[in-house]
């Protein structure tokens, strides 16, 4: 079945460091790909998405490019802030059916001043 | 900006009791979902709902679970006889006609004692 694999955390960075969180997927068909963020004590917020190969999703300085050839959707940010500390979830929505989301395990990011 | 709301934010119940978790999806959305997240684990799909019926459900969604849209605005998840392992954060989500993006509520944290 479809699945998402994320790099294990926690990821600990200093403020202004470069961030990469790896995400790869296995899916039949042509899934849409998402990054959701969960701040401490809060629910899931959509961070960015891409619906087809080579699309780049971006929001709040975060970017991710849908790479069909490597089945990847890595999240990047050039300069992280303390306020970016959260858990980041990669997810896919399979084509067809009723588009349930399949999530990765989540990666906790801690940014220190 | 419209958002998904959920009540209660926290619920504590005794094993064997029935609980009803409530959600108000975004008003023009047509597809509704429940997910759960056991502490420290990944977010898991439970059920999707469209046109007043279940469109897909996971293995987790056994006979103890049911969903309902009783009045055209609320969307509820009922757990008939709670078990210790039902303790989790339960998220409601909704999406528009194209199902492209799911918007999540803040969650209900359920603790079964």
Chain length of chain A? 113
Within 8 A by CB and 6+ apart from A104, the residues are A4, A5, A6, A23, A89, A90, A91, B42
Find the mean pLDDT for residues B42-60: 92
Predicted local confidence at residue A95, as pLDDT: 64
Distances from the Cα of A12 to the Cαs of A23, A85, A111, A113, B55, in angstroms?
17, 9, 6, 11, 41
Query: What share of chain A has pLDDT > 90, as a percent?
Result: 79
Q: Which of A30, A99, A103, A104 to mutate to test the interface with B (most CBs of B within 10 A)?
A: A99
Question: Across the interface, do B102 and A32 touch by the CB < 8 Å criterion?
Answer: no
Question: Across the interface, do B50 and A98 touch by the CB < 8 Å criterion?
Answer: yes
Interface residues on A facing B, Cβ-Cβ cutoff 8 A: 32, 34, 36, 42-46, 49, 51, 89, 91, 93, 97-106
pLDDT digits (tens, 9 = 90+) for B73-89: 899 999 999 999 999 99
Question: Across the interface, do B104 and A43 touch by the CB < 8 Å criterion?
Answer: yes
Confidence of residue A97 (pLDDT cuts 50, 70, 90): low
Element (H or E) spanning B32, and its range?
strand B31-37
* Structure token pair of residue B11: 């619920």
Shortest distance between the Cα of B71 and any Cα of chain A, in A, equals 22
Whose structure tokens read 């979902």?
A: B33
Q: Which of B47, B53, B104, B107 to mutate to test the interface with A (most CBs of A within 10 A)?
A: B104
């Amino acid at each position: 079945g479809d699945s998402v694999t994320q790099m294990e955390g926690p990821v600990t960075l200093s403020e202004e460091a470069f961030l990469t969180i790896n995400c790869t997927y296995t899916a039949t068909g042509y899934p849409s790909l998402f990054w959701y963020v969960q701040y401490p004590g809060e629910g899931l917020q959509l961070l960015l998405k891409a619906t087809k190969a080579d699309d780049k999703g971006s929001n709040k300085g975060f970017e991710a490019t849908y790479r069909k050839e490597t089945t990847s959707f890595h999240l990047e940010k050039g300069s992280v802030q303390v306020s970016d500390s959260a858990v980041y979830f990669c997810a896919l929505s399979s084509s067809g059916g009723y588009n349930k989301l399949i999530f990765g395990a989540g990666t906790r990011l801690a940014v220190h001043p | 900006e419209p958002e998904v709301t959920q009540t209660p934010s926290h619920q504590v119940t005794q094993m064997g009791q029935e609980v009803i978790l409530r959600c108000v999806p975004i008003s023009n959305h047509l597809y509704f979902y429940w997910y759960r997240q056991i502490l420290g684990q990944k977010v898991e799909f439970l059920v999707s709902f469209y046109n007043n019926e279940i469109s897909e459900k996971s293995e987790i969604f056994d006979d103890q679970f049911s969903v309902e849209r009783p009045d055209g605005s609320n969307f509820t998840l009922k757990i008939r006889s709670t078990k210790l392992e039902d303790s989790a954060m339960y998220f409601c989500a909704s999406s528009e006609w194209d199902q492209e993006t799911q918007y999540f509520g803040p969650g209900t944290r359920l603790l079964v004692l």
